[in-house]
Structure 1
């Protein structure tokens, strides 16, 4: 019997389009001999859709037309299973589309990758691939990630976080804080975005103000960190869970700008719809064996410290002047699921997806042994009189 897989992509995120590409790559790479696959697209308004054209990348050139030809859906718990329902069934169309054994979320950015999708699926009791709620939300918050990594003995760059309220109230205080505590040059970035959206380099006060205002367009909190004047970026993917994990080959992205931009990642040199797979890169990274091994160990250590599951990509920086290695950030659902880092190691995209689904089902089995309810009948003796504003029993 085939495993019923739902590929979930899109969402209310500035990384929406990248998720569509990544999601359809995964949809097309799943082995139809093993899986019965359904594509579910989350629109920019947050509505989920199914339809014959949802899996056609060309249909996304006209989103309005695509949505007219599709229909809204929802997932619901039904006994021990999760079903996919058509919300507007019509006279001759049944509401039940089918049951789901495992969900493959291929979503990027806020309102989806940040633990939102994981929380929704967790509430339904669905088996799903990738990080859980906590590791997803922490991984999306660059500052929270740095705090945990530093506590775990993993090197990260010094940084400060500022809120839009602080900046609006006293912008000079924020710029003065950056200049006194970090000094130029600095990198300014939204705390909770990926794909290099809203990121800028600032070498002086004028550029700092511009960078802060740009970053605050995308987030209420902005992270400012010391910039490395001469650096080499190295990325490593990790696959596994709480029991064991392994690393992919390392890559050195080739940037056309001072920092790897959105264009470098998704537009420059791309042909068709390749997403992160179109980025110019050197694989394996042209660094020493000693540095390679050090990064691999740091990547596995960080993956474990953050409680990750599934496949993640960890982005490192090497200070060329000192040779020091720093972990920059983690992508808990990386663009294209980082399949391009596994293929050179002999793991095909189809096999990578097999392993992600196996990890999802394993976690579901492990979770089934945990008690989530307490067998008591407190409600049989409850009266709401006098309980306003207090816990039951007056405690």
Structure 2
């Protein structure tokens, strides 16, 4: 019997379209002798759908027509505890259940998918799922939390200042002074919990800093300002595994059209008409990156350390900055659900996309087996207390004897 894999994609994110591309690539790559892929599309207005028509990338050109033909659903549990896709609204007569799934494969980039929100939903359903868990997803998505964790473990990260938008609104001059004293110019301003280079801008002076912060505030209430490396090379390395065992891919150098790698560089770089559906695969890149062997080894080790320190599982892509003037490497960020699942970084080592998806599903099932051995609740028998004092809890649970 095939394992039924619910592939979740779309979502409420600026990376919605990229998620669709990545998911359909993964579905196409799955071994259909072992797995039955069940598409679960999350629309931008938070409605959930399934149906074979969702697997046709051309159909997304007319999204309204596509969703009219797809089946709207809710994901819930049946009486026996299995996870099912139920028609929404539930019909009074006839078949209510569209499909049942054994494991979830989330490929929702960015907010409400890569940040632990969707993973928490799967935990409540007791449904095994591929990729990072709630904590590693959340800490990987929040650039500030990630930097704090990595810095605490002595991994190299750039100097930074972070603040909430409310702090900026209340006293922007104080924030500016802090940035200028600690970092100087130029700096990079980023939304703290957004991916794909959206809302990121360089600032070389106070006026540009104010403009960059105002733009970033449109995407996040938590902001990060980093010291900018000027003689910079950007390279990426993918990591596959879990807390017990990991392996690092070859390293890529992603070519950019401007000083900062943009959304267009990532997903439309060098693509011809019709190639936009390749996602990260279409990016202009050098694989493997032309680096000295010692530097390659250093970056691969840093990638594995980053992955395991953050408690990641499945496949991630860690992005690095090389300060060529100072000959230093810095961990820039981690993508816990990378575009195209970084499959193109594993091909050179002989690991094709089908093998990659198989390993991700098996890692999901392994984690579920391990968690099933843990104790999450105990029988305290608290509600069996008969007297009224029991209603007051521990605060008033005892009285002084007179």
Please state if 1:336 is matched with 2:340.
Answer: yes
Residue 125 of structure 2 is matched in structure 1 by 124
Deviations, residues 332-375 of structure 1 (Å, cap 9, x unaligned): 11011000101111110111000000100011111110011212
1:161: which partner in 2?
162
Equivalences for residues 115-194 of structure 1 within 5 A: 115-194=116-195
1:289 paired with 2:293, answer: yes
How much has 1:95 moved relative to structure 2? 1.2
Query: Can you list the C-alpha shifts for 1:5-46, whole angstroms capped at 9, x where unaligned?
Result: 110001111111111111111111111111111100001111
1:71: Cα distance to partner? Answer: 2.3
C-alpha RMSD of the superposition? 1.8
Cα shift at 1:175: 1.6
Q: Equivalents in 2 of 1:68, 1:301: separation in Å?
A: 46
Residue 26 of structure 2: aligned partner: 26
In 2, Cα distance between equivalents of 1:377 and 1:35 = 43
Q: 2:320·2:331 contact (CA, 8 Å) conserved in 1?
A: yes
Do structure 1's residue 315 and structure 2's residue 316 form an aligned pair? Answer: no
How far 1:242 moved relative to its partner? 1.2
Is 2:238–2:342's contact at 8 Å kept on the other side of the alignment? yes
- Which segment is superposed worse, 342-351 or 88-97? 88-97
**1:384 and 1:156, CA in 2 relative to 1: closer, same or farther beyond 3 A?**
farther
- Where structure 2 has 5 or more consecutive residues not aligned to the other structure, the ranges are none
- TM-score under structure 2 normalisation? 0.94
Q: 1:51 to 1:164 in 2, by over 3 A?
A: same
Secondary structure of the structure 2 residue equivalent to 1:24: helix
Structure 1 counterpart of 2:9:
9
2:11 and 2:46 in contact (8 A); partners too: yes
> Conserved in 1, the CA contact under 8 Å of 2:389 and 2:397?
no
1:222-261 equivalent positions in 2, closer than 5 A: 222-261=223-262
Q: What is the CA-CA distance between 1:234 and the residue it aligns to?
A: 1.0
Query: How far apart are the structure 2 equivalents of 1:45 and 1:133?
Result: 23
Q: 2:108 and 2:259 mapped to 1: Cα distance?
A: 27
Compared CA separation, residues 310 and 382, structure 1 to 2 (3 A): farther
Q: Is the 8 A contact 2:103 2:129 kept in 1?
A: yes
Question: Contact between 1:71 and 1:88, CA under 8 Å: does it hold in 2?
Answer: no
TM-score (norm 1): 0.96
What is aligned with 2:61?
61
Shift of 1:381: 3.1
Aligned to 2:208: 207
The question of whether the paired residues in 1 share the 8 Å contact of 2:390 and 2:397 is answered with no
State the shift of 1:63 in Å: 1.9
- Give per-residue Cα distances to partners, 1:234-270, cap 9 Å, x unaligned: 1000000111000011000011110110000012222
Change (3 A) 1:285 1:384: farther
Contact 2:141 2:194 (C-alpha < 8 Å) held by counterparts: yes
Residues 70 and 316 of structure 1, relative CA distance in 2, 3 Å threshold: same
The corresponding residue for 1:74 is 74
Most deviating of 363-372 and 67-76? 67-76
2:220 counterpart of 1:219: yes
Are residues 283 and 183 of structure 1, via their aligned partners in 2, closer, same or farther at CA, if it must alter by over 3 Å? same
Whether the 8 Å CA contact 1:74–1:85 is kept in 2: the answer is: yes
Equivalent residue pairs, number: 394
